[in-house]
Copies of this chain bind each other. A is one copy, B any other.
Amino acid sequence: MTRAAPVAIIGAGEIGSGWAALFASYGAEVRIVDPDPRALERSRDALACARTLRKGAESGRILRSANAADAVRGAVWVQESVPEGLVLKRTVLASLEGVLPPDAIVASSTSTLGASVLGEGRSFANRLLVAHPLYPVYAVPVVELCGGRETTQATIARAAETLRLAGREPIIVQRELPGLVANRLTAALLREALDLVAQGAIGVRDLDHLVSRGIATGWATRGPLATELAGSGASTLDEFLKDTEGPMAALLASLADWRAMPPWGREALRRATQGAVAMPGECEWAAMIGRVMKAAEPSG
């Protein structure tokens, strides 16, 4: 992104306002389209958080636009972040026909829908892709990029380059799958976690404690596959797979595989999650994430 290149954010809830803060902190002029009058304020609050995380962060302009046509005028990047739902998202994208600048990239924050279905029938389907951020958007550097059937490789390369200029670390996902990669991995772990709590094997706080002070701390330094590889020499993924026929077979066979949790489990979870601890605010959490990032760097 060139400095002050306009960016349009369509839908400025938690995710959209995070995108706004991110782009503004790198000097872009950001235009927000959102029916909620608090969207602008939310984005500016997020920008204040983003600025505390990074030396040299700018305090770019964040403005509210009345409609998509106004917002995308001259824009190089349009980030769609309206609530998840195919009809709503397709309606929003349709409103860009005829007003989108000829080179602008259109990115959707969705994780459950694919660029193929979102772009179907759109004249700009070749420059439309999914750019799925994690939360808080300006604090977590990785963004998943995934094109659809009509998305060109040039679009993906250009999108990755633009995000790199905003300090992001784009990860290219090669197949359109529900949840892309991050949400699939999360859902796999979360399902097992909820199942264990519902079964009474462990409490909610103990489970979180075990992950935060154990598993995730290792993964934050080098990821789960490398951890597995390091566990017993370079051939470990292979070992893991061999192991699935040995000691691990009973474990894999007994993992949760429900698609919707049965009623008894919902009841147990409702009881188990009562009185959950208050969480730090977004700004404080973003700062913790920033510290962890730094601590996990090999040179740190």
Which A positions have Cβ atoms within 8 angstroms of B? Answer: 84, 112, 134-135, 140-142, 144, 169, 171-175, 177-179, 181-194, 196-197, 199-202, 204, 206-226, 228-231, 234, 237-238, 240-241, 244-245, 247-261, 266, 269-270, 273, 276-277, 279-280, 284-285, 288-289, 291-296, 298, 300
Contact = CB atoms under 8 A, between A and B. Distances in A.
Contact of A260 (B241, B247, B295): B241
A289 B256 CA distance: 29
Given A112-B251, A188-B189, A216-B220, 6 more contacts: A84-B247, A177-B254, A184-B251, A190-B225, A216-B216, A222-B279
Contact of A216 (B223, B231, B251): B223
Contacts of A210: 142, 144, 171, 181-182, 223
A191 B222 CA distance: 17
Nearest to A278: B234
B241 A252 contact: no
Contacts of A204: 225
Contacts of A228: 190
A201 B218 contact: no
A260 B288 contact: no
A293 B185 contact: no
A253 B112 CA distance: 13
A291 B230 CA distance: 20
Contacts of A173: 201-202
A289 B181 contact: no
A63 B194 CA distance: 44
Contacts of A197: 225
A207 to B, nearest CB: 6
Nearest to A294: B295
With most chain B CB atoms within 10 A of its CB, the pick from A140, A212, A254 is A212
A247 B86 CA distance: 10
Contact of A211 (B183, B185, B277, B295): B185
Contacts of A298: 280, 284, 288
